[in-house]
Amino acid sequence: MSELYLTLVVIADENASELHFRLKFKLKMKKLKEAYRKRFNLQVETLKFVYNDRIINDDDTPEMLDMKNGEIIDVYLEKEHLVLKVIDANDMSELHIKTNSLDLKLIKLKKLYIDVKGVNEVDLLKFIYDGHVLNDDDTPKSLEMKDQDVIKVYSNNQYFSQLIKEYNFYDLKH
């Protein structure tokens, strides 16, 4: 009967604390992850569980991973950050902005940009990501931004000139 169970050692990278879990060979690893998360009051999305240099997926089982009694699982806290490149469309200068929160409202990024560049008003600029004008309430998470993604900054005049070029708009005043 004891062959149906094994004990795994889970070691956290941050503090080298060690927990022992007794589980069935066919139990999905999602259950172990949830138990660990509850023990330390963490979100499971911020944790990475690794066995033999392989990330453990929720649907994996000890049997699928060919685990033996006493095997060690390492747990790492994934840092939630990314670096965004903000490029001035006028002079092509780049500003690299690191955020430690994927839920950061982009109005803060805009304000930081105008402070660094010495621009008087954010309303005179258009921040463009993936062809779309960024809204103040957008976040890197809501836009599914990745590390090193590019945001281009245009003055309103540049932005409308760019639209005219891209979409073949013509000035009908003449």
If one compares 34 and 124, the residue with the highest pLDDT of the two is 34
Equal CATH topology for 2-77 and 82-167: yes
CATH-assigned architecture of domain 82-167: Roll (3.10)
Q: pLDDT tens-digit profile of 51-92?
A: 998 989 999 999 999 999 999 999 887 666 788 999 998 888
**pLDDT at position 38, please?**
87
Collect all residues with Cβ–Cβ distance below 8 Å to 154 and sequence separation of at least 6: 89, 90, 125, 126, 128, 162
**pLDDT at position 174, please?**
45
pTM of the model: 0.50
173: pLDDT strictly greater than 60: no
**pLDDT at position 44, please?**
59
**pLDDT at position 165, please?**
57
Q: Cα–Cα distance between 159 and 147 in angstroms, integer? A: 25
Burial class (CB in 10 A: 0-12, 13-18, 19+), 119: middle
CATH of domain 2-77: 3.10.20.90
DSSP state of 85: E
- Burial pattern 9-19, b for ≥16 Cβ within 10 A else e, equals ebebeeeeeeb
For the chain, what are the domain ranges? 2-77, 82-167
If one compares 128 and 78, the residue with the highest pLDDT of the two is 128
10: pLDDT strictly greater than 80: yes
What are the strands of the beta sheet with 125-129, ordered from one edge? 94-99, 82-88, 150-155, 125-129, 132-133
**pLDDT at position 43, please?**
66
Q: pLDDT tens-digit profile of 148-172?
A: 899 999 886 665 566 545 555 555 5
